[in-house]
Structure 1
Amino acid sequence: MNTSTNTVLITGGASGIGWALAERFLQAGSQVIICGRRADKLQEAQQKYPQLHTRQCDVGQAAERVALLDWVRTEFPQVNVLINNAGIQRRMQLADSQDDWSESQQEIAINLEAPLHLATLFIPHLKQHPQSAIVNVTSGLAFVPGAFAPIYSATKAALHSFTMSLRHQLANTSIEVIELVPPAVNTDLGGPGLHTFGVPVGDFADAMMNGLQAGATEIGYGTSETNRMASRPEIDAIFARMNSRF
């Protein structure tokens, strides 16, 4: 992917991995639009980069996803890259959980329904461009699940599966389909302080940009690359080791 001449829409782009990618696309010379739920975060982002465009949007809501596409068609028809990055993570013990199912529904809606729906919605628009891409951000937990975050792991595994099918179906179109596979990254995913052991978000984002520029279609980093390439016996061993603490 040429990272310097695109118009890029990033969901969940005001913090974490999405924000790190937004900064790098801006610095490379692309036009960037970020969307997110929090108006204050979007305002902070635009204050830092006045050339950045923002849209308040809850991608967990189907109607807002449709409205996002309509807005893009009207205001930014040149958008040729969609990055499905928005995601939330809840840690839970299923046997002890007394949680309202609505919380898990929200996790599924944001992590899985949103990227599936947005990808499907944007295909006709992206096909109009000679070079375009759908980039889905999954997780190393898509390949080896974290039992501590069972809903999150399941949504990312499903998104990985969908991405493979989408890539196959769009192989003869102008749309590249790319999967970014984060390991644990030092962001506030799941809550402040839960991922301080993770890799620096800047290092991860730099590696993803390098992979995009090199034309890779499935890009891991560190432990997520190990998970991505693991055999079944290796997956079992990694699963046992990773989940023994929980």
Structure 2
Amino acid sequence: MNISGNTIFIPGATSGIGLALAVRLHARGNTVIVGGRREDRLTAIAGEHPGIHTVRIDTTDADSIHAASRAVLAEHPALNVLITMAGVMRAEDWTTPTGFLSTAEETVETNILGPIRLSAAFVEHLRAQPEATIMTVSSGLAFAPLRATPSYNASKAAIHMLSESLRLQLEGSSVSVLELEPPAVRTPLMPGHEENESAMPLNEFIDEVMELIESRPNATEIQVERVKFLRYGEARGDYDRVVATLNATDPHGR
């Protein structure tokens, strides 16, 4: 993915990593469209960041994705990058008889079906562009589980394998598949997470991501240094230590 000169749609970018990435990409000379459910947040973003476009989209709703994709492509026919940023992270307790299933279902709906539906809505358009990118967003927890968030871990593992598989299917086309793998980052993804001292500061994370995109335009995975502890535990042969360390020090980590 080139660092500039793109037209980029980022659904789920009204806060946290998505918004920070949208602002940085816009500053690097890209046309950026931010998508989200809340009209008040979209209005605020448009006012605070002149030049960034907005569109309402609910990535848990197939009809909303379809309508938003038509609107985005009608207004921005040069669109060549889709970043499937939308996601939720919720704690679950599977040792209780009730109370976790609805959370698990919401997580799967948002974190797996959302990116699948978004990619399906845009893939044919992207294949018609000279150069295009689908950027998925998994997590370090795709590779090492956090005890508190079983369905989130599983959803991000699914996104990793979806990314690997789409890359194989789209090989030889104009569309590259790039997977962003965040570690724990100080965002409002979970309550209290913005104050989590063990998580990576958001600006520091975005600085490193932008540097990696610029220096490695043909990369398939964007991994800041902090996520490699989680990402490569199994390959290094210390997976059990990684899982123990993760769950001992970061009960609300990503």
Note the aligned Cα RMSD (angstroms).
1.6
Given candidates 205, 219, 222, the residue that maps to 1:219 is 222
- SS of 2:115's equivalent in the other structure is helix
Judging changes above 3 Å, is the alpha-carbon distance between structure 1 residues 85 and 123 closer, same or farther for their aligned structure 2 residues? same
Whole-angstrom CA distance in 2 between matches of 1:167 and 1:154: 20
1:195 & 1:230 partners in 2: Cα distance?
26
Which amino acid counterpart does residue 12 of structure 1 have in structure 2? G
SS in 1 for 2:82: strand
Look up the equivalent residue of 1:220 and give its one-letter code. Answer: Q
Contact 1:10/1:34, CA 8 A, preserved across alignment: yes
Q: State the AA in 2 paired with 1:207.
A: E
- Tell me what 1:239 maps to: 243
Aligned position for 2:187 = 187
Residue aligning to 1:172: 172
The one-letter code of the counterpart of 1:212 is I
**Aligned residue number for residue 66 of structure 2:** 66
1:100 Cα deviation from its structure 2 partner: 6.3
After superposition, give the CA deviation of every residue in 1:75-132 in whole Å (9 maximum; x if it has no partner): 2111110001111100122112622633322211111111112112211000111011
Residue 51 of structure 1, CA deviation: 0.8
Q: 1:42 and 1:192 mapped to 2: Cα distance? A: 23
Deviation at 1:3, TM superposition (A): 1.8
1:76-225 paired onto structure 2 within 5 Å: 76-96=76-96, 98-99=98-99, 101-193=101-193, 196-197=196-197, 198-213=199-214, 214-215=216-217, 216-225=219-228
User: In structure 1, what is the Cα distance between the partners aligned to 2:194 and 2:89?
Assistant: 11
- Counterpart of 1:140, as a letter, is G
What does residue range 14-33 of structure 1 map to in structure 2 within 5 Å?
14-33=14-33
Structure 1 residues 7-64: Cα deviation after superposition (integer angstroms, max 9, x where no partner): 0000111100001100111110100000011112111111111211101111011111
Whole-Å Cα distance in 2 between the matches of residues 224 and 3 of structure 1?
22
Q: Which amino acid aligns with 2:225?
A: G
Closer, same or farther: CA 138–65 of 1 in aligned 2, 3 Å: same
1:38 pairs with 2:72: no
Distance of 1:237 and 1:120 partners within structure 2: 38
What is the letter of the counterpart of residue 108 of structure 1?
A: V
Shift of 1:200: 1.0
Matching residue's letter, 1:226: F
Unpaired segments ≥5 residues, structure 1:
none
SS of 2:10's partner is strand
| Contact 1:11 1:86 (C-alpha < 8 Å) held by counterparts | yes
Tell me if structure 1 keeps the 8 A contact 2:18–2:85.
Answer: yes
Structure-1 separation of matches of 2:147 and 2:39: 33
Aligned residues, how many?
246
* Aligned residue identity for 1:241: T
Normalised to the residue count of structure 2, the TM-score between the two structures is 0.91
For 2:44 and 2:91, locate their aligned partners in 1 and report how far apart those are by CA, in whole Å. 29
Q: Residues 14 and 34 of structure 1 are in contact (CA less than 8 Å); yes or no, is this contact kept in structure 2? A: yes
Percent sequence identity over matched residues? 36
Change (3 A) 1:148 1:179: same
Which range is displaced more, 186-195 or 71-80? 186-195
CA drift of 1:169 comes to 1.0
CA contact (8 A) 1:12 1:87 kept: yes
